[in-house]
Structure 1
Amino acid sequence: MRVSTANSYDNTVSLLARRQAELASQQEKIATGKRVQKPSDDPVAATLAETAQNRLSRTQADLRSLETARSSLQQAESGLAESGELIQRVRDLLVSAGNSTFGPSEREDIARQLEGLREQMIGVANLKDNSGRTLFGGLGGAATPFVDLYGPGGNGVQFNGQRGQAAAGNTSLPQTLDGNAIWMRVPQGNGSFAINLGAANTGSVSTSMGEVTNQAALTGADYSIAFANVAGTLQYTVTNATTPLANPMPGQTGVPYTPGMTIEFDGQSLQLNGQPADGDQIGVTPAGKTDIFSVVQDAVNALRDTSANSGAVRAQALARTMTELDAGHDRVLLARGRAGEWLNRGDSLDTLLEDRGVDLKTEKSRLEDLDLVQGISDFQTQQLGLEAALKSYAQVQRLSLFQMI
């Protein structure tokens, strides 16, 4: 009987201790507001809450990365806007440079202004964001992507970045733009072919920029238009300079020349202006690629040209510069539009990621947070149960056989 009584007391004490521990645990849950504080509290909920937390961390990292990219794109878009304004200022100066009353001093003044604008354009192309990353370096590779090598033995502006453009992802945006595609890939001439006056020309002949009249008839060959005085009559002959024998074009041999006339061959046409001299030549070549900085520098060189036929050369060069400048401006506007599109996409991604973060926080809270009303109610119930158990134990503990004798 003594052993049985001791067993009963031990079991009761153990039960009281367990209830006290449960009450303390419930009190801790109320204090922290967490129903699941360790995996053993609810293994399934703890696992799902950890998964939600990991996804929430990735979402928050994506938001930080997106914000950085948006900041860089905003600065790039601002730089492209400035570049467009500089190109427009160059165009305005070129229009004024066409004034036939300007002398060497006026043209030199315009040339110096163009040089200053060219330097500003290079500065814009080398802009960096707040982190020191170049905005127009493409895929990277150089701290200064655009290097001006103009001068004796130089080759103009050189792109030292890595060509290419990072694509926008499901939750990310590119942080840099491909400056090579924006400023270094300007089509020459009219975009299909370019016209060059002969360096040894002594007459005043010049041409329009030309146009394509039949795309299917283009051959991609080089052509030469030569002028000759035959028996007092000025004639021109168009020769395909790419063929092995440099064959004259049918119907374009020994044709009498008239100022302002338009000639057409192999799907391309151009207007001839001015008065050529015997032996003058004009070259027509397939259009390649140039850069906006060389376009401006060509205009500067033309304004400073003092050769015998400088008037014709200058008029031709300025007309070509205007055409190429407009093509370069179009590329800047295209890049600016793309940057604006990405910024709009960034706004949508920001909203999407914010909503996703709220959903994940809600899910995590549902899995591990405590319902305070229910928690306090359970605490009070457990507290009452413990108090009742303590009182009953005290009453039972006082019972003894000796008290009955």
Structure 2
Amino acid sequence: MNPMRVTTAHSYDTTIAQLTKRQADLVDQQERISSGKRVVRASDDPVAAALAESVQTRLSRITSDQRAIDASRTSMQQAEGALGEAGDLIQRVRDLMVSGGNAAYGDTQREALAKQMEGLREQLFSVANRQDSAGRSLFGGLGGSSTPFVQEFGSGSGQVRFDGQRGQQAATDVRLPQSMDGNTVFMRVPQGNGTFVLDQGAANTGSLRSDIGKVSDLSALTGHDYRIDFADVAGVMQYSVTDLTTATPVAGQTGVNYTAGMQVEFDGMSFQFNGAPKAGDTLGITPADTPTDLFKVMQDAIDALRTPTNDTGDNARRTQDLGRSLTELDAGHDRVLLARAQAGEWLNRADTITDLLGNREVDHTAEKSSLEDLDMVKGISEFQSQQVGLEAAMKSYASIQKLSLFQYVS
């Protein structure tokens, strides 16, 4: 069998192919050095490319979360500032209420106080409808109207409704709410002492009034309506309590002699009488089942200040109404302060989340770099080795190409 013969042409073709491959490898290495990437395309390292793509997806999610937390922080900063402003307005209204209880003031002075309170109420209404820099309502809850608080019958009516969507978005590990539930902040103020309400009869002519009352025995509360009637019996003022729900007298509270400053207690309720009632005066007690709102509380106080002084009963009714409004205003103020504290806590959490996302971004960036970035020292060394090898191969090829049998035949 004849030995295999390798032609000169085939040898040259093989050498040219090797040189071409070396040159292509050198160009690829030069591209890696220029880009700083070990994996320029997926074919360079399929496994590393797939892992790097997964890491890039997580980095993109972090960027999205960072934008969301920045938007939430901006909204909460504006909400916290608005709640601080609301608290200041409520405090100013409270000061005016206290001034309005001055017995030396006449109708003119009280009207001036009422007008100031109207202006403050309108300012509070504006704060409650405030929007953030992106046009979102700060106190719209879960959404709904861009103007969540609506004055139903025009200025001064005292009727405000909430057109937002009640509820509060839950905070997560990487996201915070961008608005607060204005219904909870401004519209859920407990009436009276939070359990029951004492109201004077509209036809009272004496100076009878009471304090706001308190719960003395929670287990004894009935949730019924009551009426306290005053009568002059043989020159002695007496009172009797009737349970209007059952239409029966309350045991031990019938024909009781009245004394100014006396403490009355029955069915788990306790309150103090003051002033001098006249025969026929009444006092009603109703459960505080339905909450009121800060706007109505202020309007009730404004209406009380504008009650003309025609007799002793008007002064007593005004004092009673202002005392109740003051208690309800304080309860509403507490809710505003709690909401402001919640906004502050969310701002603190936003800082924590920002730090967390920043640390995750650093970790993922380092992971992505380890998968696809080029070790420049190693890359340049390989490039130089390939360059030297290519140059040596080309010089060898050039020398061999000159060899011919005719050069040795003379």
TM-score over 0.5 for the alignment? Answer: yes
* Secondary structure of the corresponding residue to residue 160 of structure 1: strand
TM-score where L is the length of structure 2: 0.96
Matches within 5 A, 1:53-92: 53-92=56-95
Distance verdict in 2 for CA 1:249–1:165, change over 3 Å: same
User: How far does the alpha carbon of each residue in 1:187-206 deviate from its partner, in whole angstroms, 9 at most, with x for none?
Assistant: 00011111111112121110
Structure 1 residue 232 displacement after superposition: 2.1
Which of 291, 302, 305 in structure 1 is aligned with 2:304? 302
Judging changes above 3 Å, is the alpha-carbon distance between structure 1 residues 126 and 208 closer, same or farther for their aligned structure 2 residues?
same
1:138 is the counterpart of 2:122: no
What is residue 388 of structure 2 aligned with on the other side? Answer: 384
Q: Post-superposition shift, 1:310? A: 1.4
Q: 2:201 and 2:110 mapped to 1: Cα distance?
A: 23
SS at match of 1:176: coil
Instruction: Answer whether contact 2:205 2:314 (CA < 8 A) is retained.
Output: no
Cα distance, 1:260 vs structure 2: 1.2
2:240 aligns with: 237
2:215 maps to: 212
2-structure distance, mates of 1:339, 1:331: 12
Q: Is the aligned partner of 1:278 residue 2:286?
A: no
Equivalent position of 1:323 in the other structure: 327
Instruction: Give the deviation of 1:392 after TM superposition.
Output: 0.6
In the alignment, what sits opposite 1:361?
365
Instruction: Give the Cα separation in 2 of the matches to 1:82 and 1:300.
Output: 21
Q: 2:158 touches 2:299 (CA, 8 Å); kept in 1? A: no
Identity fraction in percent = 60
Shift of 1:66: 0.3
Residue of structure 2 equivalent to 1:149: 152
Measured in 1, the distance between the counterparts of 2:156 and 2:179 equals 31
Tell me the amino acid that sits aligned with residue 220 of structure 1: G
Q: CA deviation at 1:358?
A: 0.9
* Cα distance in 2 between the residues matched to 1:275 and 1:93: 27
Task: Trace 1:337-356 onto structure 2 (pairs within 5 A).
Answer: 337-356=341-360
| Offset of residue 231 of structure 1 | 2.3
- Residue 219 of structure 1 deviates from its aligned partner by 1.1
Q: For 2:169 and 2:180, how far apart are their aligned partners in 1?
A: 8
Amino acid at match of 1:282: L
Paired residue secondary structure (1:315): helix
- 1:187 is paired with a residue of what secondary structure? coil
* Contact 2:297–2:329 (8 Å) recurs in 1: yes
Give 1:3 shift.
5.8
Q: Tell me the amino acid that sits aligned with residue 208 of structure 1.
A: D
Q: 1:160 to 1:5 in 2, by over 3 A?
A: same
The count of corresponding residues between Structure 1 and Structure 2 is 403
**3-state secondary structure, aligned to 1:143:** strand
Change beyond 3 A, Cα 1:335–1:199: same
1:292 equivalent in structure 2: 294
CA distance in 2, matches of 1:224, 1:157: 30
* Alignment match, 2:340: 336
Deviations 1:23-77 (A, max 9, x none): 0000011111111011100011101110111100000110011000000000000
Letter in 2 for 1:317: D
Q: Which residue of 2 aligns with 1:252?
A: 253
**Contact 2:225 / 2:243 at 8 angstroms: preserved in 1?**
yes
CA spacing shift, 1:360–1:121, aligned 2, 3 Å: same
More deviation, 214-223/131-140? 214-223
Q: C-alpha separation between the residues in 2 aligned to 1:334 and 1:349?
A: 22
- Structure 1 distance, partners of 2:154, 2:41, is 72
- Is residue 194 of structure 2 the alignment partner of residue 200 of structure 1? no
Give the match's secondary structure for 1:83: helix
2:48–2:371 contact (8 Å) kept in structure 1: yes
- 1:168 Cα offset (Å): 0.3
What do the CA deviations read for 1:94-148 (whole angstroms, capped 9, x no partner)?
Answer: 1111111111110000000000000000000001000000000001100111111
Mapped to 2, the partners of 1:115 and 1:330 lie a distance apart of 21
Equivalent residue for 2:129?
Answer: 126
- Tell me: CA distance 1:92–1:152, structure 2 relative to 1, closer, same or farther (3 Å): closer
Could you tell me whether the CA contact under 8 Å between 2:152 and 2:160 is conserved in 1? yes
- Map Cα deviations across residues 172-225 of structure 1 (whole Å, 9 max, x no partner): 000000000001000000111111111121211100101111111111111111
Distance 2:175 2:205 in 1: 59
1:112 is matched with which residue? 115
Q: How does 1:43-62 map to 2 (within 5 A)?
A: 43-62=46-65
In structure 2, the gaps of 5 or more residues are: none
Q: Residue 195 of structure 1 aligns to a residue in which SS?
A: strand
The answer as to 2:34 corresponding to 1:31 is yes
Name the SS for the 2:203 alignment partner: coil
Residue type matched to 1:364 in 2? K
Q: 1:266 Cα deviation (Å)?
A: 0.6
Q: Does 1:94 align with 2:119?
A: no
Q: CA deviation at 1:155?
A: 6.1
Q: What is the one-letter code of the residue matched to 2:335?
A: R
What is the rounded CA distance, in whole Å, between the counterparts of 1:247 and 1:254 in structure 2? 14
The separation in 2 between residues aligned to 1:70 and 1:216, in whole angstroms, is 45
For residues 3 and 212 of structure 1, what CA distance do their matches in structure 2 show?
A: 113
Distance, in Å, in 2 between the alignment partners of 1:391 and 1:165 is: 78
Q: Alpha carbons of 1:165 and 1:326: their partners in 2 closer, same or farther (altered >3 Å)? A: same
Contact 2:79 2:138 in 1 (8 A): yes
